[in-house]
Structure 1
Amino acid sequence: MTQLNNSSDVFNASHKMNQTDKIENAEAVFIWIVSFFGIPIICLTLFALCFLIKSHRAASVYVIHLILSDLLQIGFINVLTTELARAALWSAYKYCLVVGLFFMAFIAIERYILVSHPHWYRSHHSVKMSCFISLIIWLMPLTFIKIREQAMFTVLSQSLASFIPYPIILLCFVGTWRGLSHAKSLTSQKRKLILGSLSLVLLNYTFLILPLSISSLCLEFLNPPPPTAVNVYLFCHFFLYLNPLADCLLYLFMRRDAENIMKSLFSCRSLPQSIIGGTNSHAITS
C-alpha cells in the first residue's frame, strides 16, 4: 500500500512538472511574439517623440520615459526566458514596471494641470523641469525595495507600489473630464486628445496592470492557493506583457493630427508623411 502511494505521488509530481514546463514554454513563445512586434514599434515611437522634444514640448517627456521603461521591461523579460541570472533580472524587470506605472500617474497629473491651471502650466512647466521630475520618478521605486542580500521587491511591496498610482490616475481623469467643459482656451480637438490620452492610460492600467496586482495579493494570502487563483494569476501575467505595446499608442495623442492618423488606419488609407516627427508634428500643449 505504501509503495502504491509513493507511485501515485511520483506520478502527480511528474504531471505538475510537465504542466509547469508547458506553461513556461507557452509564456516564452508569447514573450518572443510580443517582442518581435513590440521592440520595433517602441523604438520608432521613441524616435518620433524626440522630434516633439526638439519643438520644446514638455508634454512628451514623461511619455518618452514611460516608453523607455517599457523597452527595458521587454529586454529584461526576454533575457529571463534564457534562464540567465533570473533573480537579479526579475528585480530589474519589476523595477522598470513600477517606474512605468509612476510615469503613467504623472502623465495623468500633467494632463489635469494643463486643463485646470493652464496659465500656471505654461509659465512654470518646461522640458528641464520635466526631466528633473523624471529623474525623481526613476528613483521613487527604491522606497519599496527590501534590501537583503540583493535589492528585491516583495509581493506586498510590489502590489502596494502598483496600487498607489491607480487612484491618482482615476482622480485626475475625473477632474480633467469635468474641467474640460470649462477650459475655454482649449479647442475641441485638443480636448479630445487630452481626454483620449487619459482614457488610454486608465484603461491600460485597469485591464493590464491592476488584475495582476490583485491576483498576486490573493496568492500571497491564500495558503495553499486554489488552482483557479493560480490560473487567473498566470492569465493576468500574459496580459501584462501587452502593456508596452498599449503605451506606444500614447504617441498618437501627443499629435494634433491624431484624428487624421486614426481615420487613415481604420480606412486603410495612406498615413500622413509626418507620422514620424517632421515639421508638422505638434504636441497638444502648444
Structure 2
Amino acid sequence: MIISSIEILIMILTLFALCALIKSHRSTPVFVIHLILSDLIQIICRLTHTITWSWDAYIAYDYSLIAGLYFMACVAFERYLLVSHPIWYRSHHSLKVCCVVSVIIWFVPLIFRDGYSHGLFSFLSLSIACLIPYPIIILCFVGTCCGLSCAISLTSLKRKKILGSLFLVLLTYTFLILPHVILIFITNHFRSYNHKLFEICLFFSRYLLYLNPLADCVLYMFLRPDVGGLMKSVHCCCRTDVGGLMKSVHCCCRTDVGGLMKSVHCCCRTDTHQSSTHSRDEHSRDSSAAFACCVSMQKPASHS
C-alpha cells in the first residue's frame, strides 16, 4: 500500500505532463500514456486485491499487465522506425494512427484468455503472452543501435534520447518483469511452487514487478523537448564558473607578474640613469678643469 500510494501520485503527475505534450502537437507520447494508464489499472487492482480479495481484480491485473507489456513493445518499435525508416515514419505517423493502434493493443490480451476458467489467465497463457514482447524489444534495440550510426539527420541529443528510452524499456523488462514471468513458467511446467526457496524467489519477483510503474514514469524524461536545454544550461553554468575562476587567477597572475616586471624595469632604469648622470658629471668636471688649465697657460705672466 505504501508503494502504491507513492506510484499513484507520481503517475497522475506524469499523465498530466504527457497530455500537455499531446496538446503541443506531439503524437510521440501516445503509447507512453496508455502504458502508464495500464500501470495505473494494475495499481488499483493490486490495492483492491489487497483490501478485499476478489477474482475480478486478479483478472484485471493480469489483463492490464499484458497490455502494458505490448505498449512497451510499441514504444520500442516506434523508436526503431524513427531511426531506421525516418521518411516512412514522418509520412505515416500521426495522432490518429497511434490512437487506433492503442485501441487494438487493449484487445490483444483477450487472445490469451482461458475460456474454461471464467476469463482467468492460466500460467502457460500468461507466461507466453508476457514473453512475446521481449524478443521484439531486443530486436528493436539492436536495430536502433545499428541505425543510429547511419542516421545523418538526427542530432546527438536526439540520438541519446532515443537510445536512452529504448535502453530503459529493455532494462525495465529484463530486471523487473522477466524474473516473474520465468518463475510463472517454471511453476506451470515443473510444479515446484511448494519448495521454500522457490516461494521466496516468487515473493521477491512479485515485488520487483510492483516497481515497474515507477520505471515507466521515467520515460517521460526522454520525451520532454527541453531536457537537452536543461542539461546544457547546467553544463554551461559549470563551465562559466570554472572559466571565470581561471580567468581571475590568470588576471591576478598577470597583474602580479606585470607589477614585478615593472618594478624591476623601473629599478634598472633608475640605476642606469643614476650611473649615466654620475659619469656625465665627472666628465663635465674633468672638461672644466682641462679648460681652466689651458686658459691659465695662454695668459701672460703679468696677468697671472
For residue 130 of structure 1, give the secondary structure of its aligned residue in structure 2: helix
Structure 1 alignment gaps of length 5 or more: 1-31, 266-286
Which residue number in structure 2 is paired with residue 76 of structure 1?
45
Task: Assess if the C-alpha contact under 8 Å between 1:49 and 1:64 holds in 2.
Answer: yes
Cα deviation, 1:214-271, whole Å, max 9, x if unaligned, reads 0111122223442212211111001000000110000000012224657999xxxxxx
- 1:255 alignment counterpart: 224
1:162 is matched with: 130
- Higher-RCO chain (CA-CA 8 Å, sequence separation at least 6): 1
Are 2:174 and 1:206 aligned?
yes
1:51 aligned to which of 7, 14, 20: 20
SS at match of 1:152: coil
Tell me the residue number matched to 2:113.
145
Segments of 5+ residues of structure 2 without an aligned counterpart are 235-304
Query: 1:40 and 2:38 equivalent?
Result: no
Check conservation: 1:145, 1:151, Cα contact below 8 A. Answer: yes
> So what's the TM-score if we normalise by structure 2?
0.74
SS at match of 1:81: helix
Which residue does the alignment assign to 2:32?
A: 63
CA contact (8 A) 2:186 2:192 kept: no
Change in Cα spacing, 1:69 to 1:224, as seen in structure 2 (3 Å) is closer
* Shift, 1:79, TM fit: 0.6
* Residue 241 of structure 1 pairs with residue 203 of structure 2: no
- Aligned partner of 1:136 in structure 2 is 104
Tell whether the 8 Å contact from 1:62 to 1:103 is kept in structure 2 after alignment.
Answer: yes
CA–CA distance in 2 between the matches of 1:259 and 1:208? 28
- Structure 1 distance, partners of 2:74, 2:59, is 23
Deviations for 1:76-112, whole angstroms, at most 9, x for unmatched residues? 100111124x211101001001000000001000000
By how many angstroms is 1:140 displaced? 0.5
Q: Which moved more, 1:103-112 or 1:252-261?
A: 252-261
Match of 1:88 in 2: 56
Contact 1:219 1:230 in 2 (8 A): no
Secondary structure, in 3 states, of the residue corresponding to 1:59?
coil
Q: Specify which of 144, 149, 167 is matched with residue 181 of structure 1.
A: 149
User: Counterparts of 2:117 and 2:192 in 1: how far apart (Å)?
Assistant: 27
**Moved segments of 4+, more than 6 Å:** 262-265
Secondary structure of the residue that 1:93 maps to in structure 2? helix
Q: 1:125 to 1:37 in 2, by over 3 A?
A: same
Q: Answer whether contact 1:218 1:229 (CA < 8 A) is retained.
A: no
Instruction: Please give the alpha-carbon distance, in whole angstroms, between the structure 2 residues aligned to 1:264 and 1:223.
Output: 56
Displacement, 1:72? 0.7
Q: What displacement does 1:55 show?
A: 1.9
Tell me how far 1:210 sits from its aligned partner.
0.4
**Within 1, Cα distance between the matches of 2:150 and 2:192?**
53
Counterpart-to-counterpart distance in 1, 2:233 and 2:219:
17
RMSD between aligned residues: 1.6
Distance 1:198 1:130 in 2: 18
Q: What's the secondary structure of 2:51's corresponding residue?
A: coil
Structure with greater helix share of residues: 2
Partner Cα distance (2:202, 2:128) in 1: 17
* Cross-structure match for 2:293: none
| Structure-2 separation of matches of 1:36 and 1:257 | 29
Bigger radius of gyration among the two: 2
Distance 1:78 1:52 in 2: 30
- Aligned equivalent of 2:237: none
Identity of aligned residues (%): 55
Cα separation, partners in 2 of 1:205 and 1:262, compared to 1, 3 Å? farther
Secondary structure, counterpart of 2:149 in structure 1: coil
